[in-house]
Amino acid sequence: MTSDLVQAALYFGLLIAMAIPIGRYMASVFAGQAQFLAPIERVILAPAGTIARLDQRWTAYALALLAFNAAGFLLLFLILRFQHLLPFNPAGMEPLSGHLAFNTAISFVTNTNWQSYGGETTMSHFSQMAGLTTQNFVSAASGMAVAAAVARGFAGRQVKTLGNFWQDLVRSTLYILLPMSLVLALVFVALGVPQTLQASVDATTLEGAKQTIALGPVASQIAIKQLGTNGGGFFNVNSAHPFENPTALANLFSMLAILAIPVAFCFTYGRMVGDRRQGYALFAAMGIMLLVAFAALYAAERIPNPLHSALIDPATGNMEGKEVRFGLVNSVLWAVSTTAASNGSVNAMHDSFTPLGGLIAMLNIQLGEIVYGGVGVGLTGMLLFVILTVFLAGLMVGRTPEYLGKKIEAREVKLAALTLLVMPLGVLVLAALAIATGTAQTSVQDAGPHGLSEVLYAYSSATGNNGSAFAGFNANTVWHNTCLGLAMLLGRFGYIIPILAIAGSLAGKKITPASAGTFPTHGPVFVTLLVVTILIVGALTFLPVLALGPIAEHVSMLVGRTF
């Protein structure tokens, strides 16, 4: 237990130590102060001419983002459909079915990286490298661009524009994601992760059986998969595969990479809006939720299944489905980080967690992926809650609510309230629809409340753009591929478009200097209120289904009822 907590403390400590300088660096990148790659940037943006130079209003910015992502979707869809005709297909992979290609293309464009397939048995190397890894970079960069634009809008002094999408996209990739991925990929290679174009090696096992072990350009893909909160693994079992996650050190680096940029964005935001305390407040609010989630999940997993008490030494905790090489705490830490960050890579199967442990992972996603969240979009998702909280708090102090000196009015509240509908629509409505059509029942592996959790987890993961799988749910059907695809689109653009609109509207507003009459949005009272608001909104939306899923499973387990 002590060693577990020391490991957790080391992880959180290293995370903060990394995030602060990265945050500062990213702020300078988005301010255009980092110039050392300017020649390359110029070459890339040159064909676009003035389109890539002039600042855009929120509408133009959003349109550019949508157009870019639509093009990315089309390209990836075609690659996946025609991978058998394309090069680098040593294993002779077949083309993906229409619905699977649709789902996968949306999944990677929306930075979800939900995988309805097993990588090593489905994808050619070309699809992995040119298709998926490309989107790993640019979908992450799209999210980062949104955060940069939103921060500019929130800080703007009566301006109309939010910056240039193409510039932000290129800078995010060139200055942040590429260099960091390069370093991390080399570290992974050094730690034993394969990086080769060879399809597989044949090995002879001790019993003399012949085994084919899949290989490929793994290190390059999993570096960006972690850094860009993508999470789509090279292999089916993701980071539970020893080639993706070979050593304890690789495990630590992976976990750090999952949250490094999302955490850093808090500090970037503080600098970009010219008041670092605002960033610290968001950092604190998210941090509190992360720590609470970790404590709860750890507590849940410490207790093994009471139905098998005769078989399990209670001191080991619930090791079912855990990464046995690194111990329980590293699976718990990973599960909390990956669900909090909308990353979705796993080193243990969440399906095998205790019912309450699974609940925490699911709730992390259902809160809207804002506990640091996806790169860029985690911050902007949190800002939507900030606006709602500011609105309530502002009324309670008798002033038209203000955030960063800007009045929060009907338009902002309308847009923010609209985003409250995203999770209920994507999770509750689509999951209910799957049950109503009977498609959910045929895709789950388990009966009873656990089966319901599997359905809920799948739709939460898609809508939250998380991408992690509970396992035990066969998503590769026409119905689920289609509906999960729609859920991913909803969960991505259902947040991005409203927050860009809010940023556009705030950018044009006057800044009222703070006085004793304005409440500070960086103090402990506000942070507490923000956390409580998020938890209450999340709990009120999902408590009924969670009661029927994981909570029902938990209480049934306690009385020895199985399904």
Partner 1 sequence: MSKTVTAEIGLFSPAILKPAAWQAFRKLDPRGLVRNPVIFSTAVVSLLSTILVVREGLAGGPTFWIGLQITIWLWFTVLFANFAEAVAEGRGKARADAFRATKSSVRAKLLLNPPQRILHEFQDVELLNPGDVILVEVGDVIPTDGEVIDGIASIDESAITGESAPVIRESGGDRSSVTGSTRVVSDWLVVRVTARQGETFLDRMIALVEGAKRQKTPNEIALDILLAGLTLVFLFVVVTLPFFASWSGTTIPVIYLAALFITLIPTTIGGLLSAIGIAGMDRLVKANVIAKSGRAVEAAGDIDVLLLDKTGTITFGNRMADAFEPLPGIHEVMLAEAAFLASLADDTPEGKSIVSLAMKKFGFAEGETCTNATFIPFTAQTRISGVDLVEGSSIRKGASDAILRTLNNDPGAPLDAIVRRIASSGGTPLVVAKDGEALGVVHLKDIVKPAIRERFAELRRMGIRTVMITGDNPLTAAAIAAEAGVDDFLAEATPEKKLELIRKEQAEGKLVAMCGDGSNDAPALAQADVGVAMNSGTPAAKEAGNLIDLDSDPTKLIEIVLVGKQLLISRGALTTFSIANDVAKYFAILPALFVAAYPGLGVLDVMGLGTPQSAILSAIIFNALVIIALIPIALKGVSYTPASASALLSRNLLVYGLGGLVAPFIGIKLIDIIVDFLGLA
Which residues inside 506-535 make contact with partner 1, applying CB under 8 A?
Answer: 510-513, 515-520, 523, 525-526, 529, 532
**Hey, which residues between 350 and 369 contact partner 1 (CB under 8 A)?**
none
Residues 488/112, Cβ–Cβ less than 8 Å: yes
How far is CA 41 from its chain centroid?
Answer: 27
Per the CB < 8 A criterion, the answer to whether 199 and 212 are in contact is no
Residue 72 or residue 355: which is nearer to partner 1 going by CB? 355
CB nearer to partner 1: pick between 10 and 547? 547
Query: What do you get for the CA distance between the two ends of the chain, in Å?
Result: 32
Instruction: Give the binding range for partner 1 (CB under 8 A) out of 173-181, 328-336, 482-490, 542-550.
Output: 542-550
C-alpha–C-alpha distance, residues 17 and 238, integer Å: 27
Q: Does 397 bind partner 1 (CB under 8 A)?
A: yes
Q: What angle do CA 54, 55, 58 make, to 5 degrees?
A: 140
187, 292, 312, 548: residue in contact with partner 1 (rule CB under 8 A): 548
DSSP result, 311-362? TS-GGG---TTS-TTT-HHHHHHHHHHHHHTT----SS-GGGS-HHHHHHHH
| Least CB distance to partner 1 at residue 85 (A) | 43
Query: Hey, which residues between 16 and 55 contact partner 1 (CB under 8 A)?
Result: none
| Selected range binding partner 1 among 58-66, 218-226, 475-483, 553-561, rule: CB under 8 A | 553-561
- Answer yes or no whether residue 263 interacts with partner 1 by CB under 8 A: no
* Cβ(422)–Cβ(465) below 8 Å: no
Helices (H), 31-57: 38-45
462: closest CA among 417, 432, 431?
Answer: 431
Q: Is 319 in the site for partner 1 (CB under 8 A)?
A: no
Distance, in Å, from the CA atom of 126 to the CA atom of 128, rounded to the nearest integer, reads 5
Q: Which of 357, 413, 462, 480 binds partner 1 (CB under 8 A)?
A: 413
Instruction: Enter the tokens of residue 321.
Output: 């489905």
Q: Taking Cα atoms as reference points, which of 456, 460, 464, 463 lies closest to residue 553?
A: 456
**Is 366 within 8 Å of 464 (Cβ atoms)?**
yes
Give the one residue of 435, 442, 445, 562 binding partner 1; rule: CB under 8 A.
Answer: 435
Number of residues that bind partner 1 (CB under 8 A): 71
**Secondary structure of the chain: what % helix, strand, coil (to 5)?**
65, 5, 30
Least spacing, CB of residue 410 vs partner 1, in Å: 4
The answer to whether residues 121 and 115 touch, using CB atoms and an 8 Å cutoff, is: no
Identify which of residues 38 and 392 has a Cβ nearer to partner 1 in the complex.
Answer: 392
Judged by beta carbon, residue 128 or residue 453, the one nearer partner 1 is 453
Shortest distance in whole angstroms from residue 559 CB to partner 1: 6
CB of 285 vs partner 1, minimal distance in Å: 15
Choose the stretch contacting partner 1; rule: CB under 8 A; options: 118-126, 278-286, 499-507, 548-556.
548-556
| Residue 409 binds partner 1 (CB under 8 A) | yes
Among 100, 393, 486, 527, binds partner 1 (CB under 8 A): 393
Nearer CB in complex with partner 1: 310/559: 559
Instruction: Tell me which residues in 437-476 interact with partner 1 (CB under 8 A).
Output: 440-441, 448-449, 451-452
